[in-house]
């Protein structure tokens, strides 16, 4: 899927998806790269929902647990903390996720 607007985010992160998509577009992400980031967001949101957690639970240990389970499920792309950096930076800048926001919000991160 190469169209970010076709990615459906359900669960605890759903309300933040349109703003995240706008942020990615403003940072110059290509539609394909933005769609991959939104697919990662959608997966994280589903995982949070199943775990009974909200966006505020996205601290380092929880993110690593999510990524570990993502790798164990057979995913080979977007399975590192670096891949999660744009989403976490966005949520932290909003004061939603645990941790410190990076200076200057999020930056373009090459695809993993």
Q: Which long-range contacts (CB under 8 A, 24 or more apart) does 21-28 make?
A: 23/90, 23/105, 23/106, 24/86, 27/106, 27/107, 27/108, 28/108
In terms of residue numbers, what domain contains 65?
A: 33-112
Domain count, the chain: 1
Any domain includes 111: yes
Per-residue pLDDT band for 110 (boundaries 50, 70, 90) equals: very low
What pLDDT, in 10s, does the model give residues 16-32? Answer: 999 999 999 999 999 99
What pLDDT, in 10s, does the model give residues 30-86? Answer: 999 999 999 999 999 999 999 999 999 999 999 999 999 999 999 999 999 999 999
Any domain includes 24: no
Which burial class, exposed, middle or buried, applies to 61 when counting CB atoms under 10 A from its CB (0-12, 13-18, 19+)? exposed
Single pTM value for the model: 0.87
Per-residue pLDDT band for 105 (boundaries 50, 70, 90) equals: very low
């Amino acid at each position: 899927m190469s169209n970010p607007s076709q990615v459906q985010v359900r669960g605890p992160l759903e309300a933040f998806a349109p703003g995240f998509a706008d942020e990615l577009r403003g940072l110059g992400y290509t539609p394909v790269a933005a769609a991959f980031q939104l697919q990662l967001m959608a997966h994280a949101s589903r995982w949070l929902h199943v775990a009974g957690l909200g966006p505020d639970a996205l601290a380092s240990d929880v993110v690593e647990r999510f990524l570990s389970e993502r790798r164990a499920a057979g995913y080979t792309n977007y399975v590192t903390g670096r891949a999660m950096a744009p989403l976490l930076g966005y949520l932290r800048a909003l004061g939603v996720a645990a941790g410190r926001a990076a200076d200057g919000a999020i930056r373009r991160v090459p695809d993993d």
